[in-house]
Each structure stands twice: as structure tokens, then as C-alpha cells.
């Protein structure tokens, strides 16, 4: 039996959910994360469209693990200027600071409708002096966590290079500042690496691993401090060491593919298939 359950953000396979889910099922995946379907952000789908998507997933033996929302992927007002080094990946979503309360309401509605337990969030677009907005990020995440608690949901903060919480060190600080059971971490080692940190073993050792609710898997090298996406396990990250450490720490969540690599000849579907096979091999090789 495989040590970890695996899944993926469905649009990393295809914007066509039927195509994505077929490939995911064939590869033995059990979990799905919803971000975009048919070129549209999950926040913009109607209830009936979401119900249809869930039916497709369940018919193929996949559960919705997380809603990959764009919450707090926005510019914080009255803050230092944005750090221009990082690309803002929006995934067909462009919400403002004032939109966040309504966006959170909709994200919670979708999570409850789909059965997802995790709502992924961020920490606002990164500014040149992120320490100056730290307390405001704390306040925003505290509020989201309080609201999520009422629904029995987890706020999954993803460390993201283009946002104010990017490295494991920054993540450890924010988790220490918010001692809330409904605030947990979506740990993405590649994102920490792009942010200038050695994510494993150095960065990972800084984390309270009991608060890792979800893990994203992708791989890259760096050229002029910019990521060059690679097949999982073939870039600079020590994925075998990271997976072994998750096993040793008793991690019980999913590992989800967040491919990013364009695949051979630009074939993203085949690229995600290759990365999934590589992920399975890494998991099978773990000593625990």
C-alpha cells in the first residue's frame, strides 16, 4: 500500500475536467484540488457547475481535498511598494482588497458544497519590506481562521514567492503569531526555493510539522534567480528527502501535484502524467 495519498490541482492536467480526471484516475490519484475549470476560476462557477464538477470527480473515485482559492492574492492598501521581482500568477482571477470578505464567503460556500476541508489562501502581493505588513497579514489570517472555524474548515496558507509569506522562516513566524487550530500550512518546497531558501532540510526543520495540512509537489532549477520548471524529482529540490521526512513526522495528508512544467513539446497533460509517475516512485522508495 502506498505510504501517501496523492492527487493534483486538476487544471495542471487539463482545463477540461473530464480529460484531467480520466488521467488522474488512471494514475491512481485519490484527491483533487479545484482552481480552474474550462479557463474559469473556481470562484466564478455557478452552484450547478460546481455540482457537475463534483459528480465527475466522485464518479471517478476522487474526493475534493482543497479549494485552491485566490484569497489574499491582492494588493494591500497603504503598504510599501510591491516587490517587482516576482510574477503575479492570477489564474483567471483579479480580486481587490475590498473584495476579500465576499470572496471568503464564496470560498466557504464552495468548500461546503464540494466536501473540501481546506480552503487555500495567500498573504497579499509581496511588498519590498514585508516585515512592515506582517501584523496586518496576521490580522487577516486570524479573521479568516475565526470564520473558517464556524464552518469546520481549515485555512491552508500557502507559502508563495509573490506574496508576503514565502519562505519556511516567514511561515514559521506567521504560524507562531497565530495559534489557531484552523490555520494550517499548504507547504510548497519549490516556492520556498524560488524565494531564496533551502527548503529541505533547512527550511522544513523550521516548521511546526503538526500544522502541515497539505503538500504541493513541483520541481525546478534556477536561472538568474528565475524558476525553470522541470519534471518532478529532476530539478534542484531534494524530493526524496522531503518525502522521507514527511513519513518520519507522521504526515497523514495528501501530496498534490502542482506540475508547472510545460511537459515534453509543451504537452502539459503528458508532463503531469510523467510527474505523477515520478512522484509515485519517490513515495514507493521511502524507507518508512
How many distinct structural domains can be found in the chain?
1
Q: Write down the pLDDT at residue 287.
A: 61
Taking the model in full, what pTM does it have? Answer: 0.96
Output the pLDDT for position 207: 98
Q: What was the pLDDT predicted at 248?
A: 96
**d(Cα 272, Cα 81) in Å, to the nearest integer?**
36
CA atoms lying within 13 Å on the CB side of residue 279: 29
Would you put residue 255 in left (φ > 0), alpha (ψ -120 to 50) or beta?
Answer: beta
The whole-number pLDDT of residue 131 equals 97
Phi, psi torsion values for 119, nearest 5 degrees: -115, 110
What pLDDT is attached to residue 88?
A: 87
Give the separation between CA 217 and CA 210, rounded to whole angstroms: 19
**CA–CA gap between residue 195 and residue 178 (Å, rounded):** 22
Q: How many CA atoms lie within 13 A of 11 on its CB side?
A: 14
pLDDT computed for residue 86 by the predictor: 87
Q: List the CATH number of the domain containing 51.
A: 3.20.20.150
Helix (H, G, I), strand (E, B) or coil at 213: strand
pLDDT tens per residue across all 288 residues of the chain? 568 999 999 999 999 999 999 999 999 999 999 999 999 999 999 999 999 999 999 999 999 999 999 999 999 999 999 999 888 888 878 899 999 999 999 999 999 999 999 999 999 999 999 999 999 999 999 999 999 999 999 999 999 999 999 999 999 999 999 999 999 999 999 999 999 999 999 999 999 999 999 999 999 999 988 999 999 999 999 999 999 999 999 999 999 999 999 999 999 999 999 999 999 999 999 865
What is the predicted pLDDT for the residue at 92? Answer: 77
Q: Residue 180 has what pLDDT?
A: 98
Going by C-beta distance under 8 Å and a sequence separation of 6 or more, which residues neighbour residue 52?
none
SS3 91: coil
Element holding 48 (H helix, E strand): helix 47-59
Domain residues for 119?
5-285
Amino acid at each position: 500500500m502506498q505510504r501517501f495519498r496523492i492527487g493534483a490541482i486538476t487544471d495542471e492536467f487539463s482545463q477540461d475536467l473530464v480529460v484531467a480526471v480520466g488521467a488522474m484516475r488512471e494514475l491512481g490519484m485519490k484527491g483533487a484540488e479545484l482552481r480552474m475549470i474550462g479557463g474559469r476560476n473556481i470562484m466564478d462557477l455557478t452552484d450547478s457547475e460546481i455540482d457537475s464538477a463534483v459528480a465527475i470527480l466522485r464518479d471517478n473515485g476522487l474526493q475534493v481535498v482543497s479549494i485552491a482559492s485566490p484569497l489574499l492574492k491582492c494588493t494591500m492598501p497603504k503598504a510599501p511598494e510591491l516587490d517587482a521581482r516576482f510574477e503575479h500568477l492570477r489564474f483567471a482571477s483579479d480580486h481587490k482588497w475590498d473584495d476579500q470578505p465576499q470572496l471568503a464567503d464564496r470560498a466557504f460556500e464552495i468548500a461546503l458544497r464540494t466536501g473540501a476541508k481546506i480552503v487555500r489562501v495567500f498573504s497579499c502581493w509581496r511588498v519590498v519590506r514585508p516585515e512592515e505588513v506582517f501584523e496586518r497579514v496576521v490580522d487577516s489570517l486570524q479573521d479568516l481562521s475565526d470564520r473558517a472555524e464556524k464552518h469546520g474548515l481549515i485555512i491552508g496558507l500557502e507559502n508563495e514567492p509573490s506574496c508576503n509569506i514565502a519562505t519556511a522562516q516567514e511561515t514559521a513566524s506567521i504560524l507562531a503569531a497565530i495559534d489557531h487550530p484552523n490555520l494550517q500550512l499548504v507547504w510548497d518546497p519549490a516556492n520556498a526555493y524560488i524565494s531564496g531558501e533551502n527548503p529541505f532540510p533547512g527550511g522544513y526543520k523550521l516548521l511546526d510539522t503538526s500544522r502541515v495540512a497539505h503538500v504541493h509537489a513541483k520541481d525546478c532549477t534556477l536561472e538568474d534567480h528565475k524558476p525553470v520548471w522541470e519534471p518532478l524529482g529532476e530539478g534542484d529540490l531534494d524530493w526524496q528527502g522531503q518525502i522521507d521526512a514527511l513519513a518520519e513526522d507522521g504526515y497523514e495528508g495528501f501530496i498534490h501535484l502542482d506540475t508547472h512544467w510545460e511537459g515534453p513539446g509543451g504537452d502539459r497533460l503528458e508532463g503531469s502524467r510523467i510527474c505523477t509517475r515520478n512522484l509515485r516512485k519517490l513515495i514507493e522508495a521511502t524507507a518508512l
